[in-house]
Amino acid sequence: MKILGIETSCDETGVAIYDSNEGLIANLVHSQIDVHAPYGGVVPELASRDHVRKTIPLIKQLLVESGLQESDIDGVAYTRGPGLVGALLVGAAVGRSIAWAWNVPAIGIHHMEGHLLAPLLESRQPAFPFVALLVSGGHTQLVEVTSIGDYRLLGESLDDAAGEAFDKTAKLLGLPYPGGPELAKLAEQGDASRFRFPRPMTDRPGLDFSFSGLKTFALNTMQEHEPLDDQTRADIARAFEDAVVDTLVIKCRRAVEQTKVTHLVMAGGVSANRRLREKLETELQKKGVEVLYPRPEFCTDNGAMIAFAGWQRLQAGLHDEDAGFQVTPRWPMTELEPLKAE
């Protein structure tokens, strides 16, 4: 069973083909960094227009590079939500139209379920049940995963997600878009002992997050040390990164203690952060918990995770029922239908 996956939830156009026998066959991603960089952040209308220009040519290129024909595709999976409504509509319209033209089933996939399942594309895979830390764009969530589709939300961000806080703080530091990776790079030059930022909501029970105040603390620190020299900027970046990493690690440790699982999955763009990976592995290893995450190219938005999630649901007999389609910009993952165990 070969599934075409289409991801257009935000500022990257991703397409891929997943084969149930051979695994991932082909994967292409077009980044919109150059489109949004002059504005310092994602402009929704520009994102939608770029998806319109790029999605079909990318699919054609994907088929050529994979050596497959349209008739080889058995199903189409597209991102239904959450995400930017205009961007989602492009992928949904293309996905449903292709499925109709090729006479194959289609299914709308939850973007965050795609991220959650991305580690299953790797050779080392978690054993169910496990806890997932999802740190992607506007989402920071801890989820208990009993099986595919059977999810229990343990905690989430009450304001800014970790990725948003990274990007906003990077912008305050004058770093180029996209800010998160640039802040992490600057933090490598910082002195970890100069500033100590708070670890928000770790002094109370619970698994929710809050990063908005951390961003404000960083701004106040910058204002206290104006004009900023290069070393001070690096020291602030390091203090901010350490605070986010420690907060995520503390909450993950609580989550595995509460659920008594032996595997933790980390996925989403922030999961590519080197310091977060190292500290999470070190701390959870003490608890006998193995930490798993996808390769860096599958941490950010991509079609491979959508194709894989689509295969899981299509082979279970699920698919879009009628000729119409809808997208769901806000969509709790706990509303998904669990897949029946074989």
The string of pLDDT tens digits covering residues 293-317 is: 999 999 999 999 999 999 999 999 9
Q: What is the DSSP letter of 127?
A: P
pLDDT value of residue 330: 95
The confidence band for 341, taking pLDDT boundaries of 50, 70 and 90, is low
The confidence band for 325, taking pLDDT boundaries of 50, 70 and 90, is confident
CATH fold of 2-117+300-335: Nucleotidyltransferase; domain 5 (3.30.420)
Q: Which segments are annotated as binding site for substrate?
A: 134-138, 167, 180, 273
CA dihedral 168, 171, 175, 181 (to 10 degrees): 10
In the chain, which segments carry CATH 3.30.420.40?
Answer: 2-117+300-335, 125-293
Q: Which segments are annotated as binding site?
A: 111, 115, 134-138, 167, 180, 273, 301
Residue 174 predicted with pLDDT over 90: yes
When pLDDT is averaged across residues 203-232 and rounded to a whole number, the result is 97
Residue 158 predicted with pLDDT over 90: yes
- In whole angstroms, how far apart are CA 233 and each of 171, 289, 340? 12, 35, 51
When pLDDT is averaged across residues 154-177 and rounded to a whole number, the result is 96
Residue 52 predicted with pLDDT over 90: yes
pLDDT, tens digit, 9 for 90 and up, residues 256-276: 999 999 999 999 999 999 999
Residue 342 predicted with pLDDT over 90: no
Average pLDDT in the chain: 96
Residue 220 predicted with pLDDT over 70: yes
Largest CA distance in the chain: 63
Q: Which segments are annotated as binding site for Fe cation?
A: 111, 115, 301
- In whole angstroms, how far apart are CA 95 and each of 90, 91, 192, 307, 317? 8, 6, 47, 12, 18
Q: How many residues does the chain have?
A: 342
Q: Does 125-293 carry CATH code 3.30.420.40?
A: yes
When pLDDT is averaged across residues 180-185 and rounded to a whole number, the result is 96
Task: Name the pTM for this structure.
Answer: 0.96
